[in-house]
């Protein structure tokens, strides 16, 4: 089976440090440090980087780093509704023109608590209805369509004059590509109808491929074809022994209190009462309840796939962003190729500290993989 070249993205989000999930392992991440990370990602030839939700605004970071880089793309998380879709189109078009078309959007629909902090109060399924309309309006404005937009949630006046959010001379060949996720029935329907790239937290290769095929079948009903990506942390070394020793050091640096707090996010009920059908999962839980972390290899759920010191992904309930690839360059490359065979093209990777681990991955892993570095960037009509 022929698979497309892999796109490897890195991480451009604070905080940084050797193990930033613990305060003692976290560095202050200022503008100069983020710029250094971006310059490293760009120079080494990564396809781009994820700018996640957090303390810093992703669009501001992308705009600030565009001038310090030449090739990398900025996958920027956006909650629909925090800005008018017309205003977002204006911002996106500006960043795209000034960067040469290097902006990507990670569509984040959030949860009740997070959105309420921003003043948005929408139910679960209603969020997806609103999001679909929001991004449709965004794309129409971005492309320079002058007609008014009349929807259930979004209403925009026509933009025929030269002073609108995007005047006619600002029209472009294509809108900013949309990446994103969604696992519930409403989330899958939203993804199938809207996204260019469907993302999922990591799982075993086969289970992840099965998920992608289910989502792809829904997209096919609409006459659409999606590409697929996943999020993994990574520890790659010259030998298996070195890689697993570093994984063990991260586990030793993690407190039980931190592991318990993070594990709570991954379970459907309190950790004190949760019981899994998998005896291995229950053994890990009992270790936490007794005040100790499991052994490093007890958290390997598939060859070279490790759930990490946060214990995210330790059950099939909800694999999450703490899942790692761990091993020698040859074994990690083999695992990436296995994920590719199950449909993954884009890999959003990270390792800490960000700069040192970005170098390791580029030095050890890049030569072993067929990569799409993304250097050929389509021109926008307005700048052609």
Strand spans (E) along the chain: 7-11, 48-51, 73-78, 103-107, 149-150, 155-156, 178-180, 197-201, 227-237, 300-302, 305-306, 324-328, 346-350
| Cβ density class 74-110: b for 16+ within 10 Å, e for less | bbbbbbbbebbbbebbbbbbebbeebebbbbbbbbbb
Note down pLDDT in tens along the chain; length 384 residues. 689 999 999 999 888 999 998 999 999 889 999 999 999 999 999 999 999 877 899 999 999 999 999 999 999 999 998 899 999 999 999 999 999 999 999 999 866 667 677 677 777 778 899 999 999 999 999 988 889 999 999 999 988 766 666 655 555 567 889 999 999 999 999 999 999 999 998 989 999 999 999 999 999 999 999 999 999 999 999 999 999 999 999 999 998 888 877 777 666 677 778 887 777 777 777 888 888 888 898 889 899 999 886 654 433 333 445 789 999 999 999 999 999 999 999 999 999 999 999 999 999 999 999 999 987 544 544 443
Decide: 36 and 14 in contact? Cβ < 8 Å.
Answer: no
Single out the residue of 303, 280, 73 nearest to residue 176, CA to CA: 73
Give CA–CA dist 28/14, Å, rounded. Answer: 8
Is the preceding peptide bond at 290 cis, omega within 30 degrees of 0?
no
**pTM: predicted TM-score of the whole model, two decimal places:** 0.91
If you ran DSSP here, which 8-state letter would residue 379 be given?
Answer: P
Q: What number of H helices and E strands is found in the chain?
A: 12, 13
**Alpha-carbon distance 373 to 101, whole Å?**
15
Q: Please list, in sequence order, all residues whose beta carbon lies within 8 angstroms of the beta carbon of residue 43, skipping any fewer than 6 positions away.
A: none
The CATH number of domain 7-228+323-383, selected from 3.40.190.10, 3.30.70.20, 3.20.20.30, 3.40.50.1010: 3.20.20.30
Question: What are the strands, taking DSSP E only, across 79-152?
Answer: 103-107, 149-150
| 232, burial (CB in 10 Å: exposed 0-12, middle 13-18, buried 19+) | buried
Q: Cα(302)–Cα(275) distance, rounded to whole angstroms?
A: 21
């Amino acid at each position: 089976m022929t698979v497309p070249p892999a796109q490897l993205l890195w991480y451009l989000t604070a905080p940084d440090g050797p193990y930033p999930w613990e305060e003692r392992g976290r560095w202050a991440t200022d503008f100069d440090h983020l710029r250094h990370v971006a310059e490293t990602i760009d120079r080494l030839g990564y396809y781009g980087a994820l700018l996640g939700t957090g303390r810093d605004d992703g669009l501001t970071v992308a705009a600030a780093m565009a001038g310090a880089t030449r090739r990398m793309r900025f996958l920027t998380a956006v909650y629909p509704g925090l800005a008018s879709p017309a205003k977002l189109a204006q911002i996106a078009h500006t960043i795209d023109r000034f960067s040469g078309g290097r902006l990507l959007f990670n569509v984040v629909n959030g949860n009740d608590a997070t959105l309420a902090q921003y003043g948005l109060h929408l139910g679960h399924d209603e969020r997806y209805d609103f999001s679909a309309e929001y991004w449709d309006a965004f794309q129409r404005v971005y492309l320079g369509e002058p007609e008014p937009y009349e929807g259930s949630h979004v209403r925009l006046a026509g933009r025929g004059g030269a002073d609108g959010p995007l005047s006619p001379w600002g029209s472009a060949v294509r809108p900013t590509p949309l990446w994103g996720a969604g696992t519930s029935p409403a989330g899958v329907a939203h993804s199938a109808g809207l996204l260019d790239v469907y993302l999922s937290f990591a799982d075993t290769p086969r289970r992840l491929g099965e998920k992608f095929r289910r989502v792809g079948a829904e997209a096919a009903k609409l006459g659409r074809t999606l590409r697929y990506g996943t999020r993994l942390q990574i520890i790659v070394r010259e030998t298996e022994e070195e890689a697993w020793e570093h994984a063990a050091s991260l586990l030793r640096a993690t407190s039980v209190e931190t592991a318990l707090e993070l594990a709570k996010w991954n379970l459907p009920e309190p950790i004190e009462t949760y019981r899994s059908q998998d005896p291995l999962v229950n053994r890990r839980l009992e270790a936490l309840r007794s005040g100790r972390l499991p052994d490093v290899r007890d958290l390997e759920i598939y060859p070279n796939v490790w759930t990490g010191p946060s214990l995210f992904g330790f059950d099939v309930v909800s694999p999450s962003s703490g899942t790692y690839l761990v091993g020698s360059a040859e074994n990690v490359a083999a695992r990436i190729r296995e994920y590719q065979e199950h449909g993954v093209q884009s890999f959003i990777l990270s390792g800490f500290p960000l700069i040192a681990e970005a170098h390791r991955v580029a030095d050890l892993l890049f030569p072993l993989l067929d990569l799409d570095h993304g250097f050929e960037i389509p021109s926008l009509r307005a700048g052609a």
